[in-house]
Amino acid sequence: MAPSHAREQAVCVREVERTFADRRGAHVQALAGVSLRAERGELLAVVGPSGCGKTTLLELICGLQAPQAGSLDCVPAVLMPQHDLLLPWLSAIDNAALALRIAHVPRSQARGRAAALFAELGLAGFEDSRPHELSGGMRQRVAFVRTLLSGKPLLCLDEPFGALDALTRAEMQEWLAQALAREPRTVALVTHDVEEAVLLADRVVVLSPRPGRVVEQLEVGLPRPRRRTDAAVVALRERALDALALGRSAAS
């Protein structure tokens, strides 16, 4: 978007505000002056309590909503919602290839490209499985491949592992880190799991409860692969938790 910069900005959000009318017509402010940025190739994690406008932020970045104030300057983004939303009448590989079919790539060619990613990301053998035959973790993997194959430079992951059990979630965090090492993209990851944010991200933005505003931005800067027991990971997690608590007490 701005090639003159030293490092290209993939996401630049400036003083964005977003207010909704609830069912009774009362105004609910979701985001109050949020600013954040992510450079190309960075993984930006947005942490915050439930209802702090995280999903709204992703939808703004994806262009699904428009802000009432402030501005956004983002490269083309694709959304991966919390629920996999795989289409039950398509096989895993056809689900993964959905974006290519939408882009009018012939079916066999689209399946071929999806199959290559399946092999690369440890999904080989599941090509023809129907979504209902797959575990929750496998379904999220297929949904992630579908997101990758959109070809967009920015992936917006909305609590991708929120619905999984703790063991599967840990496994999926590791898998995502490996997948992104092989297929680098800029990622905006929304989560309420502070540990997940510190394990995966280059930069962690902590939001306050509604109306969401940025409480703190943490540069992670730790080498990968990271383990949740590493002293530096634990220290950063504590800092992020402190920021969350600070945001909560400021809001109440």
Partner 1 sequence: MSARTTHTLRSMSVTHGTGAARAALRTIVAPLLLVVALLGAWELYADLGSTSSFVLPAPHAVASALWENAGFLAANLAKTAEEVALGLLLALALGFALAVLVHLSSPLRRAVYPLAVGSQAIPIAVIAPLLVFWWGFGVLPKLAVIVLICFFPVLVTTVDALGAIDRDQLKLLRTLDASRWQAFRFAELPAALPAALSGARIALAIGVIGAYIAESQTATSGAHAGLGHEINADLTALQTPRAYAAAVVLFALAVACFYALALAERTLAPWAQRSRGETP
Which residues of this protein are in contact with partner 1, per CB under 8 A? 59, 62-64, 77-81, 83, 85, 87-89, 98-99, 101-103, 130, 132, 146, 150, 152, 156
Comparing CB distances to partner 1, the nearer of 44 and 80 is: 80
Instruction: Give the contacts of 104 (CB within 8 A, at least 6 positions apart).
Output: none
Query: Beta strand pairing status for 214-219 and 203-207?
Result: antiparallel
Q: Which is nearer to partner 1, 12 or 61 (CB)?
A: 61
Between 47 and 98, whose beta carbon lies closer to partner 1? 98
| 127 vs 216, beta carbon nearer partner 1 | 127
Kindly state the smallest distance separating residue 88's Cβ from partner 1, in Å: 4
Which C-beta is closer to partner 1: that of 65 or that of 178? 65
At a CB cut-off of 8 Å and minimum separation 6, what does 10 contact?
1, 38, 39, 40, 41, 42, 74, 75, 153, 154, 186
37 vs 101, beta carbon nearer partner 1: 101
The least CB distance from residue 143 to partner 1, in Å, is: 9
CA distance 83 to 69: 30
Minimum distance from residue 249 beta carbon to partner 1 (Å): 33
Tokens 């929304």, residue located:
190
Provide, rounded to whole angstroms, the least separation between the CB of residue 102 and partner 1.
5
Cβ neighbours of residue 145 under 8 Å, at least 6 residues apart? 96, 114, 117, 118, 121, 123
Concatenate the DSSP letters of all residues of 179-235 into one string: HHHHS--EEEEEES-HHHHHHH-SEEEEEPSSSB-EEEEEE----SS--TT-HHHHH
The amino acid sitting at 1 is: M
